[in-house]
Copies of this chain bind each other. A is one copy, B any other.
């Protein structure tokens, strides 16, 4: 793996590295950790890399690595930069024969996303988007329960992704994470929308297997001087007639990383909370409440496949993130070995386009006083 972005002090770069390393399938071999060659080398050395594999730009990295012998050069790039720097390296990597793992939202603009999806297809290379929460064992269980019809036809959905870290004007401090997230040049047209709203959108569509058909979004910009949304309240209508609410925020003071979803069907319902990921609560017409745990009783194979350790040994954020990498690496290994995998289980460019459609529909709806707007 070669990393683009993620220099010393980065949050998400470090997460990607830890997630990639847990299952022992992936080695970090090179990186363009910073647009300053010097800083890139410093970051790389702290990661036990040789100086000659630490590059000053992604262009340099892709070119130089391409020239290395096949068994030495990186197999794929991991792009962990701010949003505006997703498309250029992804495009170049794919067009030079490298597979790609990319952070979300996939691109800065919807146009880029649509184009990138085409580039991926044309390249024949693998592309994974780190909608990491779908890597949780009990999210797999939830999806499997819906897929298998256990809940019956879905009628109602509640999803939320609540954080409070932008409650105060931290972008005015030396908080780098905040600075680029409130800056449209680097974030795109969505603030909290792109950063966390897309996770909520992805989780809904992943678990229910249903597309959000239209939405009515009332965005908030509560932080002084913010031009991008830091809060959103959204009505959603699913393609099958189900209805629901979505709420996301980065000014929900005191919330840490409260992604949660409830799905109500005609025969059963389920509830999952990211901050307590080792519990899936389900309700039934005539049975008591049933609570599932990773590697616990009565799980579907899809959920069992994801657990690394016995029941009662909590797995968390990094493990779920790692599952995206593991499934991507497993697919890549198969491809390298000339094998085929059916339905490889990780988010792709298609999900990335959906995410950008969600952002664009939400912003448009909000401009029209929360008028119903289709995703497309």
Cβ distance A150 to chain B, nearest Cβ, rounded Å? 12
Stretch from A34-42, A70-78, A258-266, A338-346 contacting the other chain: A258-266
Asked if A135 is at the interface (CB within 8 A of a chain B CB), the reply is: no
Chain A 233-247 per-residue mask, 1 if CB under 8 angstroms from chain B, else 0: 111010000011101
Instruction: Name the residue of chain B whose CB is nearest to the CB of A19.
Output: B22
Cβ distance A344 to chain B, nearest Cβ, rounded Å? 21
Q: Chain A's interface: helix, strand, loop or mixed, by majority?
A: loop
Q: How far is the CA of A18 from the CA of B319 in the complex (A)?
A: 10
Specify which chain B residues have a CB less than 8 angstroms from the CB of A225 in the assembled complex. Answer: none
Asked if A21 is at the interface (CB within 8 A of a chain B CB), the reply is: yes
Q: How far is the CA of A266 from the CA of B276 in the complex (A)?
A: 26
Cβ distance A80 to chain B, nearest Cβ, rounded Å? 14
Asked if A296 is at the interface (CB within 8 A of a chain B CB), the reply is: yes
Enumerate A47-63 residues with CB–CB distance to B below 8 Å.
47-48
Evaluate contact between B252 and A264: CB separation under 8 angstroms: yes
Enumerate A1-51 residues with CB–CB distance to B below 8 Å.
11, 14-15, 17-18, 21-24, 28, 47-48
Q: How far is the CA of A31 from the CA of B310 in the complex (A)?
A: 24
Q: How far is the CA of A320 from the CA of B14 in the complex (A)?
A: 17
Asked if A122 is at the interface (CB within 8 A of a chain B CB), the reply is: no
Specify which chain B residues have a CB less than 8 angstroms from the CB of A111 in the assembled complex. Answer: none
Evaluate contact between B254 and A269: CB separation under 8 angstroms: yes
Enumerate A358-376 residues with CB–CB distance to B below 8 Å.
369-370, 372
Cβ distance A249 to chain B, nearest Cβ, rounded Å? 6
Asked if A125 is at the interface (CB within 8 A of a chain B CB), the reply is: no
Partner of A220 from the list B15, B156, B256 (CB cut-off 8 Å) is B156
Q: How far is the CA of A28 from the CA of B168 in the complex (A)?
A: 44
Partner of A318 from the list B22, B267, B288 (CB cut-off 8 Å) is B22
Asked if A81 is at the interface (CB within 8 A of a chain B CB), the reply is: no
Q: How far is the CA of A218 from the CA of B257 in the complex (A)?
A: 28
Partner of A319 from the list B17, B220, B316 (CB cut-off 8 Å) is B316
Q: Known: A235-B218, A309-B15, A316-B315. Is A264-B256 also a contact (CB below 8 A)?
A: no
Partner of A315 from the list B218, B266, B318 (CB cut-off 8 Å) is B318
Evaluate contact between A290 and B288: CB separation under 8 angstroms: yes
Evaluate contact between B369 and A370: CB separation under 8 angstroms: no
Evaluate contact between B314 and A167: CB separation under 8 angstroms: no
Asked if A284 is at the interface (CB within 8 A of a chain B CB), the reply is: yes
Evaluate contact between A47 and B24: CB separation under 8 angstroms: yes
Q: Known: A163-B312, A297-B284. Is A253-B237 also a contact (CB below 8 A)?
A: no
Q: How far is the CA of A253 from the CA of B289 in the complex (A)?
A: 11
Instruction: Name the residue of chain B whose CB is nearest to the CB of A244.
Output: B233
Q: A277-B314, A289-B290 are in contact. List 8 more A-B contacts (CB 8 A).
A: A18-B23, A156-B233, A216-B216, A254-B284, A256-B296, A256-B310, A288-B297, A313-B317
